[in-house]
Structure 1
Amino acid sequence: MTLKKLILQIHLWLGLATGLVVFIMGLTGAIYCFQPELSRWVTQPYMRVEKQEKAFIPVSEMKRIAEAQLPGKKPTRILIKGPETAVTVQFSGKKPKPFSYAVFLNPYTGEVLKTRDMNTEFFRWILNGHMYLWLPQPVGKAVTGASTLIFLVMVISGIILWWPRNKARRKSSYKVKWSASPKRLNYDLHNVFGFYVSWILIFTIITGLYWSYEWTSKATYWAFSGGETKPKFPAPKSDRPAVAEASPALDRIFDKVTTAFPQAAGFQVNIPQTDSASVIVRAYPDKNTFYQADNLYFDQYSAAEIPVKWYGRYAQADAEEKAIRMNYDIHVGAIAGLPGRILMFFVSLIAASLPVTGFYIWWGKRKKKKPAAKPIVAKKKMELQPV
């Protein structure tokens, strides 16, 4: 068996083993590409509010109103996205079982627009399929992680199998012959489209592995830092003061951040879940990307900013930190703006089609008729002649 035939066998059997998983992840990934726009206008119309010429209610008031909607649960973060978008107060946890709720508020009046179990929301369902195949999270994460690794091997082996042996075949390898028979057309769709998207899929797969394997982000940091070990994410502590301040620390913290970043497109306020945790506020300069966010840490009692050496303000980030930050935006194509997300939509659709067209190629070869066997003519026994 030649090396190329061996690679073909590996490509074939790995594809049959993971084809369904790749199909689901590709299709759900394509749907999720336009989640921000579709959520705002289709699945979550209550996200839209009318702009008013007055200030938002205090953040502490947003927290208090949302807590009253879900007694016994503690908010985890508050998303403030602009003058025409509802404030989202999120509640999530793992005990007694995983849950995720959101309270949507009018930022000007505090009116409760919607209280929702986010696990029933359409795009959260799509995301759960993409990340966990709608299985329990530990099981689904293991399956999608392994399948993603296998898919990376398949993409690389597919490039090797596509590579033409000579110049004569090279020309036909770059384009689909649309007038060909269905069988040949399917072959071209698998090989030609697969080749073109492979170069983007490699980055999509590597960035997707971040959610399954910690070693991928460690390897990225190591590569961009010249061999250094990735530090842990900062978790500064808060010190309880002897005398409490008159105004809520959360409001004073948010006032500081909005004063420092008046042009920010949105903010995320992470609510401390313990008495010693800090308040984390993220200021986003762009509403469609996340990597440029300024992460600020504050004492939850004194509202004093706590300096950190890593994963703080974007201007202080070095190459290895920026590479880690860009992971999500590269994965969804947002790093290149709307054209990047449109491109990723088509790449994801083609990725979902590869198991289908590949299976059809394999099935067609199995069904191929064997050549008819030649009839065997029985030899007559030689008669013994008397001497």
Structure 2
Amino acid sequence: MLKRNPNKKKQNRSVFYRISAWLHLWLGLATGIVMIIVCLTGCLWIFKEEIDVMLDPALKIEKQDKPYLKPSDFQRVAKEINPEKTLSYVLYQHEQAAYLVLGKRGEGLSVRVNPYSGKVIQQPAKEGSFNFFDWVLKGHRFLWLSPEIGRPVVNYSTLIFMLLLLTGLVLWWPKKWNKSTRARSFSIKWGASVKRINYDLHNVLGFYALIVLLIISATGVVYGLQWWSKSLFWSTSMGKQLPVQERLLSDSTQMKPGLHIIDQMDKAWDKFSNGKNDFGFYYAYPKPEDNGATINFFRYPTRGKFYDLRSYTYDRYSLQQFKDKGIHAQDYYHSSAAVQLRKMNYDLHIGSVFGLPGKILAFTASFIGLSLPITGFIIWWPKKRKKKNS
């Protein structure tokens, strides 16, 4: 009786298919743990703001018919909280308590205050204490390693993950389309064996999440790899260069005695806000001793979204607004399609570009993404053991 040749099926496949299968297996094994961590932390980060408000409803601040506090007001609140710490920056997102960060960025104390009255809503935790979402973000960005080591690992693993998604599509694609192959390719056979269900979870769910995972991955690497960021902009703009964010400097020849930076920030704020309070904002406090420092405000016009964010930069002495050519300084609604796409990058990354349904979609795709290395390993491991025993 003739024995069945186990390699016959492989021999009937094209070289392209076999190369794709080899890359899919070994690159998947090499980056699997990294992508499980990145996808899991991404799932948690997507709903950070919603979780914060759910755990502490006092953080939700109803819109009031009064102006926001000025930079000097926030600075005074910060001094009352901790006179030894310098206020680093202020972040306010629509209808939530404002963040005040005292001390060095990434190391300071975070305080939540009412943006209209300055009332402290959430007291600062002790310096060095555990913050869950800071921990999540560090895992997402650099695996809780030093940034110099962890960030490249995450970035290049994510690029490899994109390749795995494409090779997975090659492996998913049926050799012939018929009723049987359509059923296997688009549906999970829940009544089958555990082995078959696991295979379907990997194969079918991977297909359905493919496009969303490619978008999430491509937009994520924009923040980590300059060459990828520039290449992606070049490809979406039909060959144009990514606008360079140059460092703007105040004209120190305009310096006058008694001209304090905090007073100038208040005046610049008046120009920036124009008496309105229908936007979110972010700004950092320049160091008084830095004579070339500018005053920079970011405006978030749309609640829960970042694509129409716009930055405004002022000379700290003359208060003249700079004509900045950087991406964030451009008006979204009067920008090219490539610039609009780049300004939309973070919203695409977390799904907020489509509101809550988009975030749910991004969460679901990311959850499938973290399952793929697990189900893939379960497919491979018995085959490895069987091959070893034979």
Q: Which residue of 2 aligns with 1:214?
A: 226
Question: Does 2:344 match 1:335?
Answer: no
Q: Which residue of 2 aligns with 1:146?
A: 156
Equivalent in 132, 146, 151 of residue 136 of structure 1: 146
The amino acid that maps onto 2:21 is L
Bigger mean CA offset, 155-164 vs 31-40: 31-40
Q: Which residue of 2 aligns with 1:111?
A: 119
Q: What is the aligned residue count?
A: 366
User: SS at 1:88's partner residue?
Assistant: strand
Q: Which residue of 1 aligns with 2:168?
A: 158
Find the aligned partners of 2:246 and 2:335 in 1 and give their Cα distance. Answer: 14
Find the aligned partners of 2:87 and 2:135 in 1 and give their Cα distance. Answer: 21
Equivalent in 265, 269, 280 of residue 266 of structure 1: 280
Find the aligned partners of 1:201 and 1:242 in 2 and give their Cα distance. Answer: 54
Paired residues of 2:245 and 2:325 also in contact (CA < 8 A): no
Percent identical across equivalent pairs?
36
Question: Does 2:320 match 1:320?
Answer: no
Find the aligned partners of 1:7 and 1:105 in 2 and give their Cα distance. Answer: 54
Paired residues of 2:67 and 2:277 also in contact (CA < 8 A): no
Equivalent in 275, 278, 281 of residue 294 of structure 2: 278
Paired residues of 1:269 and 1:282 also in contact (CA < 8 A): yes
Find the aligned partners of 2:49 and 2:224 in 1 and give their Cα distance. Answer: 24
Q: Which residue of 1 aligns with 2:25?
A: 12
Find the aligned partners of 1:34 and 1:355 in 2 and give their Cα distance. Answer: 23
The amino acid that maps onto 1:265 is F
* TM-score normalised to structure 1 length: 0.86
- CA offsets per residue over residues 29-69 of structure 1, 9 Å max, x none? 11111111111221x55534566665444321202332454
Paired residues of 1:220 and 1:324 also in contact (CA < 8 A): no
Find the aligned partners of 1:30 and 1:146 in 2 and give their Cα distance. Answer: 20
Paired residues of 2:223 and 2:229 also in contact (CA < 8 A): no
The amino acid that maps onto 1:47 is L
Q: Which residue of 2 aligns with 1:381?
A: none
Q: Which residue of 1 aligns with 2:109?
A: 101
Question: Does 2:104 match 1:89?
Answer: no
Find the aligned partners of 1:371 and 1:20 in 2 and give their Cα distance. Answer: 27
Find the aligned partners of 1:341 and 1:188 in 2 and give their Cα distance. Answer: 25
Find the aligned partners of 1:221 and 1:32 in 2 and give their Cα distance. Answer: 26
User: SS at 1:85's partner residue?
Assistant: coil
Find the aligned partners of 1:371 and 1:67 in 2 and give their Cα distance. Answer: 70
* TM-score normalised to structure 2 length: 0.85
Q: Which residue of 1 aligns with 2:370?
A: 352
The amino acid that maps onto 1:155 is L
Q: Which residue of 1 aligns with 2:241?
A: 229
How far apart are 1:308 and its partner, in Å? 1.8
- CA offsets per residue over residues 307-341 of structure 1, 9 Å max, x none? 22333141443333222211111111111111110
Q: Which residue of 2 aligns with 1:252?
A: 267
Paired residues of 2:68 and 2:277 also in contact (CA < 8 A): no
Paired residues of 1:284 and 1:293 also in contact (CA < 8 A): yes
Equivalent in 30, 44, 68 of residue 31 of structure 1: 44
The amino acid that maps onto 1:125 is W
Larger Rg: 1
The amino acid that maps onto 2:43 is A
Gaps of 5+ in 2: 1-10
The amino acid that maps onto 1:341 is K
- Supply the RMSD in Å over aligned alpha carbons: 2.6
Question: Does 2:190 match 1:171?
Answer: no
How far apart are 1:207 and its partner, in Å? 0.8
Paired residues of 1:272 and 1:300 also in contact (CA < 8 A): no
Aligned ranges 1:168-207 → 2 under 5 Å: 168=178, 169-207=181-219
Q: Which residue of 1 aligns with 2:4?
A: none
How far apart are 1:152 and its partner, in Å? 1.2
The amino acid that maps onto 1:137 is P
Find the aligned partners of 1:251 and 1:127 in 2 and give their Cα distance. Answer: 32
Q: 1:370 to 1:208 in 2, by over 3 A?
A: closer
Question: Does 2:383 match 1:365?
Answer: yes
Q: Which residue of 2 aligns with 1:383?
A: none
Q: Which residue of 2 aligns with 1:296?
A: 312
